[in-house]
Structure formats: structure tokens, C-alpha cells
Structure 1
């Protein structure tokens, strides 16, 4: 199937590992020219060597650094047609949690992707074509989580923004990942093999964690010409995971 992506220009945040890296690789395989953004330079070096991408070192939670990074990516590629907001981090917290933690995690998981999109959208609208794709999350979680609340805000923003830019040929969508076999899953969320097996048995009907490449395929579709009538929606990629996970 021809996806019409060859020669398009994309910026992918959180591209040093995990889902962001998988999405960047999948887009490159379709002939997309890439700018990859992350805080860590070393993990990007192999991708840059393989695909000739522009590497943008940036802490997206810093508004000034984010603006400079967006401008550098656009300058390196001559413009951005596709934005993939893949950077983020989980943040479990209890009632009465520190306001500074809430502010930090909202800055990373909501304000940064919103700000980046709003900086790049005017040029997309003027060209009459663009894609904004953001990784969000499961909005029916068990327990308080700063990232979950921030990602719910990002889902709501994506729906509203989609209606604002649809007439200009720009789509805005979200992808809600379940448990995908990434660095964060291996090292932070489910480091214990026995606990991992119990979680899968209790919560995931397909009986396994997903591969990042399975989510990346959805992102590539949403970025493509084939998805021109898909906007303002969230696609869940979670193996049928129970909504209120334990």
C-alpha cells in the first residue's frame, strides 16, 4: 500500500528509546526525512548514522529550549509536515502530592507537546497539509498518576485542536499505548518477571506485552495520506487490556 510519505518531514520527540525510537525508525523506512529530539545524544547517534537525520538535543520541559529545538528542527529540514509527540514519563503520586511534582509532570506530558504543536501548526496550515500525533495514555487507571492526568488533558486538547485545523488539511490525533515492551516497562514499571507474568494474566487478553513496532505502525498510518479522513480521535493499542488495571 502506498502511504504517500516519501519526502515528508517529521519531528519525533522522545526518539532516543522506546516508542519514540520505534516510530522514528518506522517513518524513516517509509522515506520520511527526520529530525529526532531527545535529552540524550548517544542513543540517537546510530539512528542519525543510518538515516542522516537531524539530531536535536532538548529538554522539552524547558519552554525556551523547546522553542529553540522546534526552530532548529524546522531549519534543518526546511519545515515540518509531521509532529510526533512521543516524549513523556509516568508519575505515580498520592493525595496531597507536592505541587512541584504536579507542575513538573504537567510541563513534560501536557504543556510541552501542546506548545510544540502550536508552534509548528501555523506553517502546516499555511501549506495545507500536516499531521500532529501525540502519545497519550489509559484514562481509566488505578490510583493517582500525574502523567495520567496530564495525558488526559493532552487527549482533550488533541480533540479540540483537530476541529480548529481540519479545514486547513491538518489532522490531529492521539495514540493511547498499553503495555509495550520498552525500556520504561523493563526497567521501571515491570522489572520483575514473575510480577510481569501475573499482570499479563490478569489484564491483557492477548496474553503478552506489545512490541513498540506494533504501535509505530499505527503512527505511520496516521501520518500518511491514507489517514486523511481520520482526525480528532484516539486509537488504543493495548492488546485489549482491562480498562481499570490492577
Structure 2
């Protein structure tokens, strides 16, 4: 399917590894001119080289901390200076934050800064140019809405879902769509190194929870992002679309 994305511009946060890197690869394959951002420059440069080696245009590397307000604005400014106005923003930065009942305010503030506020700030920074051009795509990567224990990131991602739904109503008439993807278990640094560090634990979790029978790959998220970013998805907005191999806790 031709997605008609060639020549569009995109900014992908959290792109040094995992889902963000997979999204950047797929968008670049579709002919999108991509800027990638995260804190780890070495990993961003490796990704840019890998993408260039496939024959796609090498992404622009912009390092920064999206949880810092000034950095979020600077990241968008540098990406725009290099590529022109941003057509597609993919908010991938995030991370699980298992939390105790008596966790300090600082723990909650950090979880919200990474998993909600960063996406809001980046979006606010790109929206004026999108509204001026009457076209734009915002895609947020969130998390499970069926937590099994207290996790500050889950609360932040719930805020992300409802913020995105409300925003989608406000900007729809400007030709801008806002959608959210909650991923299931995706083969990434966080999942393989922290949640399921052994092959035995991965197999046990799959047997209990994932009907399709395996963990997904970052590119599985990237393919949906590319479609939602395309002109073909113009009538999809305010949606929350899981990519999880059927992994719905408590469904069975």
C-alpha cells in the first residue's frame, strides 16, 4: 500500500532504542525525513547510520531531555531548522515506574514528566505550524490500561489518553489527527532487560497472556504509526489502538 508519506517531516522522541527506533526506521523507509531525539547521542547516531545503510535518508540527530521544558522547545526548534515544519510528531519517550503506596511526590512528578508532560510540551511546540498549514499528525505511544500493580507511569499514560482525546476534538478542523497506541510486550531494552530478563520468564508470560504466542517487534508499532501518519488515515482521530497480540489482562 502506498502511504503517500514521501517528503513529509517527522520528529520521533525516545528514538535511541526500542519502539522509538523501530518507528524511525519504518518512517524513513516510507520516505519521511526524520529527526530523532533522546538523551543518548551514541545510540541515535548508530540508528541514523543503520537507516542510511538501507538506502533511506539518514535522520537528523537532536539530543536532549524531553522532560526539561527548555529542552523540549529546543528539540522542536532544531528539528524544524533542519527539516522545515514538522508534519508528524511521534511521542515515544516513556518508561515504566513501579511505585510504592507511600511514594514521594518527586517519584510521581518524574513519572508524569516523562510519560505525560513531555508529550504535551512537544505537541504544543509543533501545533502552531501544523495549524498554519492545516495538516498534521500526532501519534502517542502509551501503555496498558489494565495494570496489575501500582505504577506511576500507568497513571501518567491514562492522563495521556484523555488529553489526546480532548486535543483531537480541538484540532480536527485544522486537518490534524491525534491518536494513541498502547503497546503490548515488545522486544525492547525495557521489556527484555527489566521485565522479562530470562527466556523462561518470557515463555511463561506468553503462555499465560499473549494469544498470538510471541512478543512483538518495534517495527510492529512502526507500521501502525506510519499508517496513522499518512493521508489515508485522515478520518481516524481520538482513537486508542492497542498493538499487543491480543494481550488483554483479565479477559480470560
- On whether the aligned pair clears a TM of 0.5, the verdict is yes
SS in 1 for 2:241: strand
Matches within 5 A, 1:17-56: 17-49=17-49, 50=52, 51-56=57-62
Superposition CA RMSD, Å: 1.1
Question: Aligned partners of 2:18 and 2:31: how far apart in 1?
Answer: 21
Question: Aligned partners of 1:98 and 1:59: how far apart in 2?
Answer: 22
Give the structure-2-normalised TM-score.
Answer: 0.95
The counterpart of 2:169, out of the listed 163, 166, 177, is 163
The counterpart of 2:63, out of the listed 51, 57, 66, is 57
Q: Match for residue 96 of structure 1?
A: 102
Q: Deviations over 1:123-173 (max 9, x none)?
A: 101101000000011111101101111011001111000000000000000
Give unpaired runs (5+ residues) of structure 2. Answer: none
SS in 1 for 2:186: coil
Alpha-carbon contact 1:138-1:243 (below 8 Å) kept:
no
Offset of 1:244 from its aligned partner?
Answer: 4.4
SS in 2 for 1:12: strand
How many correspondences in the alignment? 245
Worse-matched range after superposition: 17-26 or 191-200: 191-200
Match status 1:204 vs 2:202 = no
Q: Deviations over 1:32-71 (max 9, x none)?
A: 0011001001111133331332111011111111111111
Question: Aligned partners of 1:194 and 1:53: how far apart in 2?
Answer: 37
Question: Aligned partners of 1:195 and 1:2: how far apart in 2?
Answer: 39
Q: Match for residue 13 of structure 1?
A: 13
Runs (4+) off by over 6 Å:
none
Match status 1:183 vs 2:189 = yes
Question: Aligned partners of 1:143 and 1:52: how far apart in 2?
Answer: 41
Q: Deviations over 1:7-40 (max 9, x none)?
A: 0000000111000000000000000001100100
Q: Match for residue 152 of structure 2?
A: 146
Q: Match for residue 234 of structure 1?
A: 240
Offset of 1:243 from its aligned partner?
Answer: 2.4
